[in-house]
Amino acid sequence: MSKVAIITGAGSGLGQSTALRLAQDGVNIAVVDINEEGGNETVSKVKELGADALFIKADVSKAEEVKNYVDKTVEHFGSIDYFFNNAGISGSGKYFLETDIKEIEQIVGINMLGALYGLRYVAEVMVKNGGGSIVNTASSAGVIGQDTVVTYSATKHGIVGMTKSLVAEYAKDGLRVNAVAPGPTETPMVKAYFDANLEMKKNAEAGIPQKRLGTADEVAELVTFLLISKAQYINGDVIRIDGGFTNTK
């Protein structure tokens, strides 16, 4: 029987790349995104690779919509084996004291609460079924401090905390939970951020020992390894994929 993965933020970027990578291994995908066009595009691409896919529109900052995507996945596929808890936004790139309160609330709602809601409802299904594998998307800003991303950084440090603490509670029940911490990566979200902060892109590339941004496909390979590999003893870890960026800080 084919395995089943839920991927949030699957309409573009890391989510879409990971959906396509998992589909190559025959994993069926519940594609979750607020963007219908992007989500349906991912579904079509997954099906072209021979796996099944279902698009579920959701605003992950709303608990009832998170529960709905979990319920619909179970209803359609019968189970949840893997979860890439990935949906997130970066914000405007303004310094913290210039950031509007509504932006702070939006970033926390999507990045922090959305991730927690996803873990709450997905882990409940997994533990009931004897276990499963989860990868959360943290960030280089979740392991070091960086300017212009105070709120984003707070949520990504939170991702690290929830990853480790969930393992402390539920590893005994068959749950594996890890996180990836990408550095600056060529995704639509990062492109939009750098378009608004061109000087920061130059600084970012200069500060990466490999002198380039990462790619979504490179992150997807790591996520796939953590989700489906035989390395079952990797649990509660936060793996950096940033070209050496945070190791020089």
- State the pLDDT at residue 58: 98
Higher per-residue pLDDT: 59 or 191: 59
What 8-state DSSP symbol labels residue 244?
T
Say how many C-beta atoms besides its own lie within 10 A of residue 152's C-beta. 23
Residue 199 has pLDDT above 90, yes or no: no
Region 8-20: mean pLDDT is 98
Confidence of residue 204 (pLDDT cuts 50, 70, 90): confident
Q: What is the pLDDT of residues 81-116, one digit of tens each?
A: 999 999 999 998 899 999 999 999 999 999 999 999
Amino acid present at 100: D
pLDDT digits (tens, 9 = 90+) for 150-165: 999 999 999 999 999 9
Taking residues 132-161, report their average pLDDT. Answer: 96
Encode pLDDT of 15-71 as tens digits: 999 999 999 999 999 999 999 999 999 999 999 999 999 999 999 999 999 999 999
pLDDT over 70, % of the chain: 97
pTM: 0.95
Q: Which CATH superfamily is domain 4-248 in?
A: NAD(P)-binding Rossmann-like Domain (3.40.50.720)
Per the prediction, the chain carries an average pLDDT of: 94
**Measured between alpha carbons, how far is 21 from 7 in angstroms, rounded to an integer?**
12
**pLDDT for residue 192:** 73
Domains in the chain: boundaries: 4-248
Nearest to 220 by CA among 1, 2, 3, 27: 27
Name the active-site residue from 69, 82, 117, 152. 152
pLDDT of residue 197: 67
What is the pLDDT confidence band of residue 202, given thresholds at 50, 70 and 90?
confident
Q: Which of helix, strand or coil describes residue 57? A: strand
First-to-final CA distance of the chain: 45
Contacts of 1 (CB under 8 A, 6+ apart): none
pLDDT at 189 over 80: no
Q: How far is CA 156 from CA 125, 138, 153, 198, 233, in A?
A: 24, 5, 5, 23, 24
Radius of gyration of the chain (CA): 17
- Active-site residue 117, yes or no? no
Q: Which long-range contacts (CB under 8 A, 24 or more apart) does 34-41 make?
A: 34/58, 34/59, 34/60, 35/11, 37/11, 38/11, 38/12, 39/10, 39/11, 41/11, 41/16
User: How much of the chain exceeds pLDDT 90, in percent?
Assistant: 83
